[in-house]
């Protein structure tokens, strides 16, 4: 019992230091084991998806974890079973146009919120935060009503169009990035005779490039992953479905097994993995900005 | 919105010099020009629909015939609608469980990663990547991972002699299953908390170490209080995530029912036994499957009030900290 009691604080003697080192090593091993376990916990489901995707039809829903035969043709087969290219085209239309529109509308708004001084700026910024936190279901009824009277339900336009005017999250995130650009650069441009628009295009946009990249990535992935929006507006029109929407009913609609369903699941995750691989720093900086800098 | 804009338009009292006032007018016009798309978008996609939702909530409206004023009937009907009460219960359950589990889990993971000496980048990447996965994909993955009788989780539990629950086939376990999915995709919160933990000034730890405080006590007395503003963000963010939980509930419900068909029929929403019928799912069903727009608008109004309260907590905190920032740096 006495041995396990913590040693009283005493002048560091040789034997005590050795026991402290041993404890340090144990701590290190324990900590890194937990870290490794966490990493595996996050990674294993994706590995499982890959392994299931290349299993044979009869093997996919069994307790087998490792495919007995590797059916790489499953990925091609999935394209034969469903009009995946059509869905892919719809997804790209939605994500790319929304991101382009977001850049056009959000950069000036972020500039006005971060680099121009005007009364009520803080209040307007809080409205942006409020809009960002609003569940999309709250405003769905009147918006659907309006788009329906314009005859645009059944298409993706009700989802794309708003990005050309206002996207709360993007304005918020870009504003956080633009704030970090020293005011002196903008002031110097003004002294040199730049108007605000020129100051934005020549000084702020180049300096905020990492922030613009991060915001674009988040916008692209948000729309790529979106399920509620496409379901709301194109649920009854399969030719307008995005990949996210199609994936939800892929298995039963196309009478396929889980191996093909998992192949499509993996395909739909590819943009996230690729974008992250190329722009890890932008992602991490962007996500950090959403929480830390109020 | 309008209140804030009026202040922009009226500005400060007129300056004596005409040139200055003209410059000021020009500055105001510049600000307006930069914000014009955003203001238009805010009014069209937030301002108008928020007001219209409240107006619609006092009507009966099916999208075809003109809205008919019915007073409080939609709100009174909520009390007689057993599935409304079920959906309130489900969503409140998720708000409580998801918020607590998500924040505690993310804080735990962030604290572990913050202390790692090697492999930080790899583990951070592994933990963040799932949060980028489409919710539909993440839900299908976990439906398969957690399926009873031969699923990998079931198999792994079996090695320890444990019998896993039926998860998405059992009304008692479907919601915990949803909470597990949300933990897997909580890597974004981990990154946010990790940045906050690493931001804690090192001197504070050293001072505490000199005072003989152990690692746990340092974490409790220094790390936790210092990152509490970010923790508050995590709590509010998790509440909002849980309040609007839709996709995972719909996909898990339809996959669990064996008919992964999410369009055109309502029979598998909420499967099993309405246990995954969250508030937004019931709102969607009423409004866009039954076309009872008035009732859906009333539910949307309730959702708005609750999410507004959660957001107000965060905004209040941000307002305080932005005032401090301005006072401190003079920017």
Residue linked to tokens 């998801």: B98
The first and second tokens of residue A172, run together, are: 């918020």
Dmax of chain A from CA atoms? 83
CATH 1.10.3720.10 range(s) for chain B read: 81-329
User: How close, in Å, is residue A175 to chain B by CA atoms?
Assistant: 13
Give the residues across from B60 on adjacent strands.
B68
Q: How far apart are CA B124 and CA B109, in angstroms?
A: 10
Beta bridge partners of B68: B60
**CB A130, CB B315: distance < 8 Å:** yes
Task: Determine contact, residues B111/B197, Cβ cutoff 8 Å.
Answer: yes
Chain A: closest CA distance from residue B135 (Å): 7
CA–CA gap between residue A103 and residue A22 (Å, rounded): 55
Options 3.90.600.10, 2.40.50.140, 3.40.50.720, 1.10.3720.10; CATH of A78-291:
1.10.3720.10
DSSP letter, residue B211? T
Per-residue pLDDT of chain A (294 residues; tens, 9 = 90+): 333 434 444 444 444 555 667 778 888 888 889 999 999 999 999 999 999 999 988 888 788 888 888 999 999 999 998 899 999 999 999 999 999 999 999 999 999 999 999 999 999 999 999 999 999 999 999 999 999 999 999 999 999 999 999 999 999 999 999 999 999 999 999 999 888 999 999 999 999 998 999 999 999 999 999 999 999 999 989 999 999 999 988 877 777 788 899 999 999 999 988 988 888 888 888 887 776 543
pLDDT for residue A1: 35
| C-alpha distance from A222 to closest chain B C-alpha (Å) | 8
- The answer to whether the predicted template modeling score (pTM) of the entire model surpasses 0.90 is no
Q: Do A45 and B130 touch (CB under 8 A)?
A: yes
Chain A residue with minimum CA distance to B105: A38
For residue B141, give the nearest of A45, A134, A275 by CB distance: A45
B270 vs B142, more confident: B142
Which chain A residues are closer than 8 Å to B38 by Cβ? 105-106, 108-109, 165-166, 171
Q: CB of B302 within 8 Å of any CB in chain A?
A: no
What pLDDT, in 10s, does the model give residues B163-183? 889 899 899 999 999 999 999
Q: What is the distance, to the nearest Å, from the Cα of residue A10 to the centroid of all Cα atoms in its chain?
A: 52
Of A32, A52, A166, the CB nearest to B41: A166
Q: 3-state class of B59 per DSSP? A: strand
ipTM for the predicted complex comes to 0.87
Q: Which residue has the tokens 């496409």?
A: A230
Min Cα–Cα distance to chain A from B62, Å: 10
Vertex A130 angle, CA A124 and A131, to 5°: 90
Place of tokens 């994706």: A46
A residues 222..281 contacting B (CB < 8 A): 224-225, 227-228, 231-232, 235-236, 238, 243-245, 247-253, 258, 261-262, 265, 268-269, 272-273, 275-276, 280
d(CA A189, nearest CA chain B) in Å: 16
Whether the Cβ atoms of residue A132 and residue A166 lie closer than 8 Å to each other: no
Reported as type and span, the H/E element at residue B23 is: helix B18-42
Nearest to A59 by CA among A279, A228, A263, A257: A257
B residues 74-103 near A, CB within 8 Å? none
CA distances from B107 to A162, A258, B122, B160, B214 (A): 35, 35, 18, 27, 19
**pLDDT at B320 (0 to 100):** 76
Question: Ramachandran region of residue A115, left (φ > 0), alpha (ψ -120 to 50) or beta?
Answer: alpha
Q: Domain residue spans in chain A? A: 2-53, 78-291
How many helices and strands, by DSSP H and E, does chain A display? Answer: 15, 0
Distance (Å, whole) CA A219 – CA A217: 5
CB proximity under 8 Å: B 144-183 to A: 144-145, 149-152, 155
Verify whether the Cβ–Cβ distance A109 to B35 is below 8 Å: yes
Q: Confirm or reject CATH 3.40.30.10 for domain B81-329, answering yes or no.
A: no
How would you write A65-96 as a 3-class SS string?
CCCCCCCCCHHHHHHHHCCHHHHHHHHHHHHH
Residue B243 has its nearest CB partner, among A112, A135, A148, at: A135
Mean pLDDT over B123-149 rounds to 91
Closest residue, chain A, to B148 (C-alpha): A63
Q: Write out residues 182-211 of A within 8 Å (CB-CB) of B.
A: 183, 195-196, 200
Q: What is the mean pLDDT of residues B46-62?
A: 96
Q: Does the CA dihedral B315-B321-B325-B327 come out positive or negative?
A: positive
Neighbours of B322 (CB within 10 A): 14
Task: Write out the DSSP string of B288-326.
Answer: IIS--HHHHHHHHHHHHHHHHHHHHHHHHHHHHHHHHHH
Which residues are bridge partners to A101 per DSSP? none
What is the gyration radius of the CA atoms in chain A, in angstroms? 26
């Amino acid at each position: 019992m006495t041995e396990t009691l913590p040693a009283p604080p005493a002048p560091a003697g040789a034997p005590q230091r050795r026991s402290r080192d041993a404890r340090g090593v144990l701590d290190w091993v324990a900590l890194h084991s937990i870290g490794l376990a966490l990493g595996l916990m996050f990674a294993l489901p994706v590995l499982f998806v890959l392994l299931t995707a290349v299993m044979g039809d009869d093997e996919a829903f069994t307790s087998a974890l490792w495919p007995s035969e590797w059916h790489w043709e499953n990925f091609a087969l999935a394209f034969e079973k469903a009009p995946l290219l059509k869905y892919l085209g719809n997804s790209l239309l939605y994500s790319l146009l929304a991101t382009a529109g977001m850049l056009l509308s959000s950069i000036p708004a972020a500039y006005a919120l971060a680099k121009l001084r005007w009364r009520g700026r803080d209040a307007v910024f809080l409205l942006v935060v409020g809009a960002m936190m609003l569940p999309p279901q709250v405003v769905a009824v009147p918006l659907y009503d309006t788009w329906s009277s314009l005859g645009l339900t059944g298409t993706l336009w009700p989802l794309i169009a708003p990005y050309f005017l206002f996207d709360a999250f993007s304005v918020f995130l870009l504003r956080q990035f633009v704030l970090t650009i020293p005011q002196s650069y903008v002031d110097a441009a003004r002294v040199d005779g730049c108007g605000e628009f020129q100051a934005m295009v020549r000084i702020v946009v180049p300096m905020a490039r990492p922030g613009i990249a991060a915001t674009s990535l988040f916008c692209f992935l948000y729309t790529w992953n979106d399920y509620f929006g496409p379901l709301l507006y194109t649920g009854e029109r399969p030719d307008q479905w995005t990949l996210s929407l199609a994936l939800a009913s892929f298995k039963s609609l196309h009478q396929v097994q889980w191996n093909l369903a998992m192949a499509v699941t993996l395909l739909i995750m590819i943009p996230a993995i690729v974008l992250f691989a190329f722009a890890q720093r932008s992602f991490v900086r962007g996500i950090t900005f959403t929480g830390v800098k109020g | 919105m309008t209140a804030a804009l009026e202040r922009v338009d009226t500005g400060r009292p007129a300056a004596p010099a005409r040139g200055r006032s003209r410059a000021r007018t020009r500055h105001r016009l510049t600000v307006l020009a930069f914000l014009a798309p955003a203001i238009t978008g805010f009014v069209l996609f937030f301002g108008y629909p928020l007001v219209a939702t409240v107006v619609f909530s006092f009507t009966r409206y099916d999208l075809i015939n003109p809205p008919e004023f019915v007073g409080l009937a939609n709100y009174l009907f909520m009390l007689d609608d057993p599935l409304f009460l079920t959906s309130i219960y489900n969503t409140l359950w998720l708000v409580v469980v998801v918020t607590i589990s998500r924040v505690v889990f993310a804080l735990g993971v962030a604290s572990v990663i913050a202390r790692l000496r090697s492999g930080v980048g790899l583990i951070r990447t592994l933990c963040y990547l799932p949060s980028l996965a489409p919710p539909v994909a993440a839900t299908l993955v976990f439906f398969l991972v957690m399926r009873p009788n031969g699923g990998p989780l079931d198999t792994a539990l079996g090695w320890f002699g444990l019998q896993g629950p039926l998860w998405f086939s059992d009304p008692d376990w479907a919601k915990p299953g949803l909470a597990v999915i949300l933990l897997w995709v909580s890597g974004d919160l981990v990154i946010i908390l990790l940045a906050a933990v690493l931001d804690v000034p090192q001197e504070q730890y050293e001072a505490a170490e000199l005072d003989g405080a152990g690692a746990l006590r340092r974490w409790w007395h220094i790390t936790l209080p210092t990152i509490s503003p970010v923790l508050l963000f995590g709590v509010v963010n998790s509440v909002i995530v849980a309040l609007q939980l839709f996709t995972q509930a719909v996909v898990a419900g339809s996959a669990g029912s064996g008919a992964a068909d999410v369009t055109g029929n309502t029979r598998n929403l909420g499967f099993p036994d309405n246990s995954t019928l969250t508030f937004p799912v019931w709102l969607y069903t009423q409004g866009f499957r039954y076309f009872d727009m008035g009732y859906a608008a009333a539910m949307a109004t309730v959702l708005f009030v609750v999410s507004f309260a959660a957001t107000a907590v965060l905004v209040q905190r941000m307002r305080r900290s932005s005032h401090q920032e301005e006072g401190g740096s003079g920017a």
